[in-house]
Structure 1
Amino acid sequence: MDIVVLAALAAAMSVIMTAAWGIQRLTGASGWVDTIWSVAVSIGGIAAAWAAEGTDERRWLVGLLVALWSLRLGGHIGLRTRGAGEDPRYEKLIAEWGDQAAFRLWTFLQIQAVAAFILVLAAYLAASGTGPFPSATDMAGLIVGVAALGGEALADHQLNLFRKTPKAKTAVMESGLWAYSRHPNYFFEWLFWCALAIIALGGGWIGLIALLAPVQMYWLLVHVSGIPPLEEHMLKTRGEAFRALQSRVNAFFPGPRRTGFTTQPSSVKE
């Protein structure tokens, strides 16, 4: 590993997230923070792929996967954020922080810069393999990565269609991929970083470090900033309808629907 390159990439993540902090301070629209974060990972991931010492084909593969991930996620978040103003999650934090909000928000976004660097590091390690291309791990990673991108795009599309229906104001999404996971978009997001870790494993034992990316994403999505605040909000706004959904559908990993529970009225379903 080239420590100088990795240090430069880490510094870039810090600078970009500082810029995100400045934009939030100027506009009050913190929803753009997530869009900027995805762009930071994209820029860092593509740069890391090209700075790696792997074969040209492998660097192209990793760079392309990261670019597709960023275009899909950044575009989705950007469209969702446009004109939405302050993100409720950040609004709550800023209110709790009071007079220290500016400094604590900057610190919080620097933690996000560290998280971004861990993903960038996974891209670097995935692109560093010097063995023959394509290897079994390259092909497996490509298949998993494409499936993850397609699955997340489909889940978001299904949810967007549901949100345009009148019942979305009182009901919960429970059809399509959402019939088998309460958060299929989060699952496929995690799966994408598994794909890069799989490619990295083809580079030998050092590729094991890339496993930090899916481990981190699982922890963040399932235990920190993903499912917990979203489900707290859903319980407040949907009440028993969402509790009934929790009893029938897995939170993260897709699986068979559970039966034997009292169901809510048909308006709970799409």
Structure 2
Amino acid sequence: MSAPWLTLLAVWAGAASAMTLAWRWQRARDNAGIVDVVWAAGVGGAAIVAALLGSGALLPRILLAVLGALWGARLASHLWKRVRREDEDGRYAYLRAHWAGDQRKFFLFFQGQALLVVLFALPFVAVAANPADSPWLLAAIAVWLVSVGGEAVADRQLADFRADPANRGRTCRDGLWRYSRHPNYFFEWVHWLTYVVLAAGSPLWWLSLTGPVLMYLFLRYVSGIPFTEQQALRSRGEDYRDYQRTTPMLFPWFPGSSKGSSP
């Protein structure tokens, strides 16, 4: 068993090494989308590391390892299919053009993602320090099932829409995408509530709050929705502007005909 800071140090060492390899991969293929794949796998791996090195009760640590690893494996697999089959994501293609292909900037960007893996490992440290089997374990599993299942459904609906050549240049409004412009992001945010519940009773419980708080801030204001919507406006123009006017941004609600977007 190790101190929390040693756990985070181990997570950082693994993430930094993996991101260095990912940077070399993108350099050879001009496709920075691999950073998302390695980030998801890295966070899933961080859950396993925290569970192995934690000092808390066995059952919460087992659940942490299983739930975190399964979440990371599903998301990494989904993203890898896109990276492997498609051209570089428009967000990263824009950065490549903006940075004039400067690999030093890409390296720093990839290493920044390694630091984010460490930040998102903080809730795992809280769970791994939980000294007792919490009565909230079943609730945590339920939150995980709803969130990961919802994200998987949203991802599948979007993939099916994009696979139809007739939809090229159009905005997906099918299924969950009718009620939120980013249902995948919404369920990704919900997923981080799993560890808030799983950490109930931990002396480091407050650390578990960093998961949903950081994920919301990054999705809403930094690297999620802003980049995605800028690229959508560049590629789909007025069709996406209409989608913005009628469909809530993140939290699902019924679409309207003229209301503004909601957070």
Give the share of equivalent positions with the same residue, in percent: 36
**Could you tell me whether the CA contact under 8 Å between 1:49 and 1:60 is conserved in 2?**
yes
Structure 2: gaps of 5 or more residues: none
Q: CA deviation at 1:127?
A: 2.5
TM alignment of 1:32-111, pairs within 5 A: 32-98=34-100, 101-111=102-112
Distance 2:254 2:87 in 1: 38
Structure 1 runs of 4+ off > 6 angstroms? none
Distance 1:48 1:191 in 2: 21
Distance 1:9 1:118 in 2: 10
Distance 1:192 1:233 in 2: 25
Match of 2:160, SS?
Answer: helix
- AA aligned opposite 1:218: Y
Partner of 2:143: 144
Q: CA deviation at 1:260?
A: 5.0
Cα distance change of structure 1 residues 164 and 65 upon mapping to structure 2, 3 Å threshold = same
Per-residue CA shift, 1:103-142, capped at 9, x if unaligned? 21111112111111112221121222112x2422x23222
Cα distance change of structure 1 residues 3 and 224 upon mapping to structure 2, 3 Å threshold = closer
**Could you tell me whether the CA contact under 8 Å between 1:45 and 1:119 is conserved in 2?**
no
**Could you tell me whether the CA contact under 8 Å between 1:182 and 1:250 is conserved in 2?**
yes
Structure 1: gaps of 5 or more residues: 262-270
Cα distance change of structure 1 residues 7 and 164 upon mapping to structure 2, 3 Å threshold = closer
TM-score between the two structures when normalised by the length of structure 2: 0.90
**Could you tell me whether the CA contact under 8 Å between 1:201 and 1:208 is conserved in 2?**
no
TM-score between the two structures when normalised by the length of structure 1: 0.88
Distance 1:189 1:203 in 2: 23
**Could you tell me whether the CA contact under 8 Å between 1:45 and 1:121 is conserved in 2?**
no
Q: CA deviation at 1:195?
A: 1.3
- Figure out how many residues of one structure are paired with residues of the other and give that number: 257
Partner of 1:189: 188
- AA aligned opposite 2:12: A
Distance 2:143 2:85 in 1: 34
Partner of 1:168: 167
Per-residue CA shift, 1:55-83, capped at 9, x if unaligned? 11111111111111112101100111113
Tell me how large the CA RMSD over aligned residues is. Answer: 1.9
Cα distance change of structure 1 residues 202 and 168 upon mapping to structure 2, 3 Å threshold = farther
**Could you tell me whether the CA contact under 8 Å between 1:119 and 1:213 is conserved in 2?**
yes
Cα distance change of structure 1 residues 48 and 234 upon mapping to structure 2, 3 Å threshold = same
Distance 1:107 1:234 in 2: 26
- AA aligned opposite 1:115: L
Q: CA deviation at 1:230?
A: 1.7
Match of 1:231, SS?
Answer: helix
**Could you tell me whether the CA contact under 8 Å between 1:49 and 1:59 is conserved in 2?**
yes
Partner of 2:135: 135
Asked whether 1:117 is paired with 2:118, we answer yes
Distance 1:82 1:169 in 2: 19
Distance 2:80 2:224 in 1: 18
Distance 2:157 2:177 in 1: 8
- AA aligned opposite 2:98: E
Cα distance change of structure 1 residues 175 and 92 upon mapping to structure 2, 3 Å threshold = closer
Cα distance change of structure 1 residues 217 and 16 upon mapping to structure 2, 3 Å threshold = same
Distance 1:198 1:210 in 2: 9
Cα distance change of structure 1 residues 7 and 34 upon mapping to structure 2, 3 Å threshold = same
Distance 2:29 2:164 in 1: 31
- AA aligned opposite 1:224: V
